[in-house]
Amino acid sequence: EVVNQRMLRDQVAKRIEVTTKALQEAEQQHKELERRLRQYPQLEEPDIAKLLAPLESAIEAQKARIEQVQATINSLVIRAPIRGTICAIYCWPGQQVRRGDPILTLAAQHGRYIVAYVRQDQRLAPQVDMPVEVRPRLPASRPLLTRVERVGPQVEPVPLHHCRDPKTPEWGLPVRIALPTGFMGRPGELLDVTFTQTGGSGE
């Protein structure tokens, strides 16, 4: 039994010796690693903003190009100011046009205002907000009350279908008249117009 105890003691002592030696080696390695680590320069965290700056600049440049292309596309789209029916087409896709060239003729579904021409022989001086009676040229139609919206700055040639005699040119002062409430006149329709304040009339 004493021999067994001695053998067990020797084994434990040997294990302690091996473990101690391994611990010393580990401590030496740890110190060596610390020494090597101190030799390396201190690393700075990369400046993300500086790294991303070229990419952000490229993105902004592409956005600007996209906006420019979109503006060009929008400038190529022609939007009609009113709803209506196309009566005539003067240009087709692929043709080159200049600013002011007619593209098509659009007939509005409903008129937006009335234009009357006051001839010089009518001796009438229309003014803005002057009361006006408008009567459609239909059987049993009644006069509709409205007012003058605008008076033209100069005398102009009267359109042919407004002339009392199409063979005789006429000149008149254009007067813009508001559409009477509830009246849905058709573009180009002739109406009888009476300026009620002075008792004169114009068509």
> Are 200 and 132 in contact, with CB atoms under 8 Å apart?
no
What is the distance between the alpha carbons of residues 1 and 6, in angstroms, rounded to a whole number?
A: 9
Q: For position 94, what pLDDT does the model report?
A: 79
Confidence (pTM): 0.49
What is the distance between the alpha carbons of residues 27 and 34, in angstroms, rounded to a whole number?
A: 11
> Residue 71: CB partners within 8 Å, gap ≥ 6?
none
Pairing, β 156-157 against β 84-89? unpaired
Q: For position 101, what pLDDT does the model report?
A: 87
The radius of gyration of the chain from alpha carbons, rounded to an integer in Å, stands at 48
Q: For position 47, what pLDDT does the model report?
A: 62
Q: For position 67, what pLDDT does the model report?
A: 84
Give every residue of the chain whose pLDDT is below 70, as ranges. 1-13, 40-49, 51, 197-203
Q: Write out the H or E segment, with its range, that includes residue 28.
A: helix 2-39
Q: For position 150, what pLDDT does the model report?
A: 94
